[in-house]
Structure 1
Amino acid sequence: MPTKTKARSLPEGKLDHYAINKFQDVPIRPTVEANGKIMEELFKDSSDIVMREFEIENGPKALLCYVDGMVTTSAVDAAMKALMILEGGEFTIDLITETTLPVAQASKIQFYKELLTNLLSGDSVLFVDGQDTAVCLGLRGGIRRSVAEPETETVVRGPREGFNEHLRTNTSLVRSKIKSPRLKMKSFVIGTETNTNVILTYMAGIVNPKLLQEVEDRLSRIHIDGVLESGYIEEFVQDQGFSPFPQVQTTERPDTVAASLLEGRVAILVDGTPFALIAPFGFWQWLQASEDYYERFMVGTLLRWLRLFSLFVALFSPALYIAVSTYHPEMIPTNLLLSIAASREAIPFPAVVEALIMEIAFEALREAGVRLPRTVGQAVSILGALVVGQAAVQAGIVSAAMVIVVSMTGIASFTLPRYNAAIAIRMLRFPIMLLASVFGLLGIMIAAMVVVGHLAKLTTFGIPYLAPVTPVDLSDMKDVMVRAPWWKMRRRPKYLTPDNLQRQRPQPE
């Protein structure tokens, strides 16, 4: 094969200039000296790569390679000790792998691509003189952030554990929620330079095979030099990249991932980030929080109504104030109109400029609160909003009524449990305000029709974004604007077309 010939003839002096994919057909050399030269050339000026050459007792030379800080040192020491006290005999990779090494995970490797991928992922690699096969030792370790409560999805009632940056920790958290052999985790390596491990997890026998195949195809089509966070993957796999609305859900909660898998969705876990991706993701999931299913159904329903109302407040309240105060003052009660007029008497700007000043200031303060150290971030964001708002009113730049409207808008946007959905609302608020300043209530109606039309046209992995409201499916309405009791939700969402629609057995009469 031409590719194989090219890979074998790579000049060893320039191996460090090639990506790992170039080593697909480069075989392991039969001598420790040759393999050592290749490794030294590849990892020249890499102080974290440890290459420990030693001799197996009464036997051949061996070379152990690992990345310092990514392995459990005590386990490496134990493996080397087991080899150094090996007593004579015939030395083969099979013998070392099967009877000598005290390692739970040990596999044989014949080509450098797999060797380099495993080595740079935290495994240790052993070369033995006279063997053209290396041994990969699963001794991953190092310092990792412990499992802690998610910071972006806190709950009053529910599990307190969240994902961290270690992929295998995250998969184990999901596995601990769903103790079933039907929980599958398919591995991908994406990024020609970062070689990031990505896991596609799903429930076999529940997920629709067409949905699963579509997600696999989209992941396989990603060709990029690096993936440092799941946001890279999100932009590649979503249906419409220019839509402001998220089509993939992000979450730090293992219980949210487990619940989604049991509905027939799929999840994507990326090494190096605590944020998992869930697909498909529709509009009505904006209003759903994991806590809705842990509290009684009446509480969950009430909270969803509150979130839906807050969504409209966050999106339309500044525009509504601009339209009514500018073009339709007759819609305001007389006493309230007189109060607003008195507060705006000394204001030199129209209502739309007031709103833009306060909204931009509020967004800037919110961003500053996120970026500043945690100990001072909250104080700056809260005190800053109070001080800026009060100072702006006293200086006659904005009216007190506008401060109240912007404050209500900000509070309402915080009630949405999905952070990426709240960002979409924050972005759309500004063009709607401009339309309201030009056309009044007509501008708000135009904006509403455009937004609803776009949502109706939008799809997420081929599934309508507004399903099951449009197209209407009454059987799936038990978990949309209301949260029916668990004993009523006997079936999984039909719009996901799962292989197994039945969620629970029929209740006895």
Structure 2
Amino acid sequence: MNLFKSKNKKSFKEKWDNLQKRQTQKNFPPKKSEENNQPLEFCLKDNIQKINELFGNSDDIIIREIRIGKEGKIKAGIIFTDGLIDSGSAQNFIMESLMIDLRMTNIETEPYNGTKLLSYLKEMVLTVGDIQDINDYTNLLDSLLSGKVILLFDGYTQGFAVEMKGWKQRSVEEPTTETTIRGPREGFTENIRVNTALLRRKINDHNLWIESRKIGKVSKTNVSIMYIKGIADDKIVEEVRKRLDRIKIDSILETGYIEELIEDAKWSPFPTMYHSERPDAIAANLLEGRIAILVDGTPFVLIVPVMFAQFLQSPEDYYNRADITTLLRFLRYIGFFIALLGPSFYIAITTFHQEMLPTQLLITLAAQREGVPFPAFIEALAMEVSFEILREAGLRMPKAIGQAVSIVGTLVIGSAAVEAGFVSAAMVIVVAITAISSFIVSNYELSISIRMLRFPFMALAASFGLFGIIVGLIGMVLHMCSLRSFGVPFMAPFGPYIHDDQQDALFRFPRWAMSKRPRLLSQTNITREDTPAPKPDSK
């Protein structure tokens, strides 16, 4: 009796476990990668049916069955994605070779039967450069969606993936976001292979290494890192690899995805990564020891690590003379502080420190503000918000009318606000100078950071005057000194102070004096050039 009960109890437990297992499989079906990671079938029809099922009979997946050999006994399948391959090359180098050239060869008999057939086709028939073997559906799907032609044969569990990329793409054009008077006129495109080729043209050295990987469970975007072996720090390169490998996301559509996922300071208003669409700018950073991150589908390339001084520099700085470049850099730093603190100083002086103004100017400002019903802070806040709205509207509107709307809107609203007595004429002048100064900052992300920080500084000025501005500046500098970009201090070479790196920070020394690379970026190959200083002409 006891044995009977234990046996029934065991069978009930087995039934319960089986029910739970079926329920688990129902709620958690196998992952797509596990379903697709299956070897190819022997039968060509089964392979084609499986591909149609995986793609849902999509119209852009072209499948053609042909017969090859002298007597046409061997069935073959040609599969490709319409729009991703060069159809002319596929016709000339694949179909013609298989359907016409093989008619003169009796491959159905020895010595080309069995496994020797695939070797013969790969070595003697297919006149293309890149041919890869595929044995499972995972590699087949990845190759098919990457612009390759798939060749399958009846009776074989192995096929070929032939490189035939040829989709439509934008040609190399002049960059629109980083304009220069002097320098190259070519910019990156949305094709990652074109971008790497542009950098190869700039740096003709075998030490320029490229490491590629696919990121995104759904998009499977090609992401590459480029660096010069022997110049870039190996620890920084390894850190870039680790951060990219930690990314777990369904899609990567632009470098902004990568930047947000691997940057150091997640909540800092200052960017800790630099992006550009100019090959000359990226090549110059690679030669200094930095690492480039390229993403397929976008013309913007990321550069790590970065320093604050880099955001106030321009590629054109290195095409002009040193004295001209130094003057322009001083103008950028002056514009940076005006764009950040212009309205704040006006609010602080007119509200708390009127004694700092000359008497005649103070009387003029008082006369202008006599009919204004709002304090200086509200006045400046309204004007700044209005200008930001007009600037954003000008960027989003069509180019033909965007600039006209922003300029006309600013003039009309400014003059109407002064005539209506809502704001003073001096405030309109201060806001206009602040806006113009923000345009002198060459990097767009840094200019956005300035626009964000301008409003807290205005609040500090309205609350505590110049004392509040000084406290805000101290807090901002402390925050900037605490930032790191892949282990490199963000404020270097100012903090920590590096004497040798001052040759290309606030000043730009002559080319013959810039003989060392940044010390924190390159630890092995520090010397850039050994050109001696020119001697003055003797009379």
In structure 2, how many angstroms separate the alpha carbons of the residues matched to 1:235 and 1:475? Answer: 32
Aligned to 2:96: 81
SS of the equivalent of 2:469 reads helix
Cα distance in 2 between the residues matched to 1:99 and 1:498 = 49
Q: Which has the larger radius of gyration?
A: 2
Deviations 1:138-163 (A, max 9, x none): 11112101111111001000001001
Work out whether residues 414 and 422 of structure 1, in 8 Å CA contact, stay in contact via their aligned partners in 2.
yes
Q: Provide, for residues 259-316 of structure 1, a one-character-per-residue CA deviation record: whole Å limited to 9, x for no partner.
A: 0000000000000111100000111111111000011111111111000010000100
**Is this contact kept in 1: 2:512–2:531, CA < 8 A?**
no
Q: What is the alpha-carbon distance in structure 1 between the residues aligned to residue 369 and residue 242 of structure 2?
A: 58
2: CA distance between counterparts of 1:216 and 1:441? 46
Uncovered stretches (5+) of structure 2, i.e. residues with no partner? 1-25
Stretch moving more, 105-114 or 366-375: 105-114
Aligned partners of 1:199 and 1:268 also within 8 Å: yes
For residue 64 of structure 1, what is the amino acid of its counterpart? I
CA distance in 2: counterparts of 1:368 and 1:19, whole angstroms: 45
What is the distance in 1 between the residues matched to 2:435 and 2:173? 28
Match of 1:481 in 2: 506
Per-residue deviation at 1:114? 2.5
What residue ranges of structure 1 are gaps of 5+ in the alignment?
A: 1-13
Structure 2 match to 1:10: none
Deviation at 1:131, TM superposition (A): 2.1
Q: 1:97–1:107: 8 Å Cα contact kept in structure 2?
A: no
Q: Aligned ranges for residues 39-188 of structure 1 at < 5 Å?
A: 39-57=51-69, 58-78=72-92, 79-85=94-100, 86-87=102-103, 88-89=106-107, 90=112, 92-188=117-213
CA shift for structure 1 position 93: 2.4
Contact 1:166 1:273 in 2 (8 A): yes
Cα root mean square deviation, aligned: 1.7
Q: SS in structure 1 opposite 2:121?
A: helix
Q: Aligned partners of 1:132, 1:487: CA distance in 2, in Å?
A: 63
Task: Report the number of matched residues.
Answer: 494
Change over 3 Å in CA distance of 1:400–1:18 after alignment to 2? farther
Map Cα deviations across residues 20-79 of structure 1 (whole Å, 9 max, x no partner): 643674222233112111110111152222222222242421222222111111011111
- Aligned partners of 2:119, 2:524: CA distance in 1, in Å? 43
> What are the residue-to-residue correspondences of 1:424-503 with 2, within 5 Å?
424-503=449-528
Secondary structure of 1:26 counterpart: coil
1:196–1:226 Cα contact (<8 Å) kept: yes
Secondary structure (helix, strand or coil) at the match of 1:495 reads coil
After TM superposition, the score normalised by the length of structure 1 is 0.94
Instruction: Provide the C-alpha distance between the structure 2 equivalents of 1:248 and 1:26, rounded to a whole number of angstroms.
Output: 41
Structure 1 pair 251/409, CA: closer, same or farther in 2 (3 Å)?
same
SS of 2:474 mapped into structure 1: helix
Given that 1:20 and 1:117 are in contact with CA atoms closer than 8 Å, whether structure 2 keeps it comes out as no
Task: Tell me the alpha carbon deviations over residues 121-151 of structure 1, each in whole angstroms, 9 at most, x when there is no partner.
Answer: 2222221222222211111112101111111
User: How far, CA to CA, are the matches of 2:347 and 2:310 in structure 1?
Assistant: 30
SS at match of 1:219: helix
Verify the 8 A CA contact 1:192 1:226 in the aligned structure 2.
yes
1:36 aligns with 2:48: yes
Within a 5 Å distance, the mapping from 1:297-316 to structure 2 comes to 297-316=322-341
Contact 1:115–1:125 at 8 Å: present in 2 too? Answer: yes
Which amino acid in 2 is paired with 1:41?
E
Q: Give the match's secondary structure for 2:370.
A: coil
Between the aligned partners of 1:214 and 1:427, the Cα distance in structure 2 is 30
Contact 1:62 1:127 in 2 (8 A): yes
